[in-house]
Amino acid sequence: MLNIIIVIGRLTRDPELRYTQSGKAVGKMNIAVDRPHYNRERDKETDFIDVIVWQKLAEICSNNLAKGRLIAVEGRLQIRSYDDNQGIRRKAAEILAQNVKFLDWPKDKDKDNQGGDSTNSGFASEISFNGDDIPF
């Protein structure tokens, strides 16, 4: 079996960082990814995809990314079910990220990149986690 997904898009909001009861960092991001074709009105269509990051990768993303930043995400697609506030069964599709690459610089790159921070130089390290700890 194979479940690999790679997407490139822009963050729609700042990453959220939380911690599980056991102290593991978990982050949630949402990226906008343009589809490679136009609709009937000749407008580009966009998908908004939830991304989950864990442990050190979650902290790196939370500390270095903000709304509008261009990123590449590599991971696996997960479809999960949950009950909403009215008790209706829903499904959610999200990417469980193993790698995140920062593809642009912050708008104020002199301020945010002082000290030679190298987090923008490549993919962050691979993270292993237990999907049962998702607090969202």
Residue 60 has a pLDDT of 95
* pLDDT for res 117: 42
Instruction: Give 135's contacts (C-beta < 8 A, 6+ positions apart).
Output: 18, 20, 26
The answer to whether the CB of 83 falls within 8 A of the CB of 49 is no
pLDDT, averaged per 10 consecutive residues of the chain (136 residues), comes to 96 96 96 86 89 96 95 96 93 96 79 44 42 49
CATH class of 5-133: mainly beta
Q: Would you state the pLDDT for residue 106?
A: 79
Q: What is the pLDDT of residue 110?
A: 53
Tell me, rounded to whole angstroms, the distance of Cα 1 from its chain centroid.
Answer: 23
SS3 state at 117: coil
- Predicted pLDDT of residue 119: 42
Report how far apart, in Å, the C-alpha atoms of 22 and of each of 56, 58, 99, 125, 129 are: 15, 15, 23, 21, 12
Residue 57 CB neighbours (<10 A)? 22
What is residue 62's predicted lDDT score, i.e. its pLDDT? 95
Give the pLDDT confidence score for residue 109 in this predicted structure.
Answer: 57
Rounded to two decimals, what is the model's pTM?
0.74
Strand partners, 81: 91
pLDDT of res. 105: 85
* Residue 41 pLDDT: 80
Cβ(12)–Cβ(34) under 8 Å? Answer: no
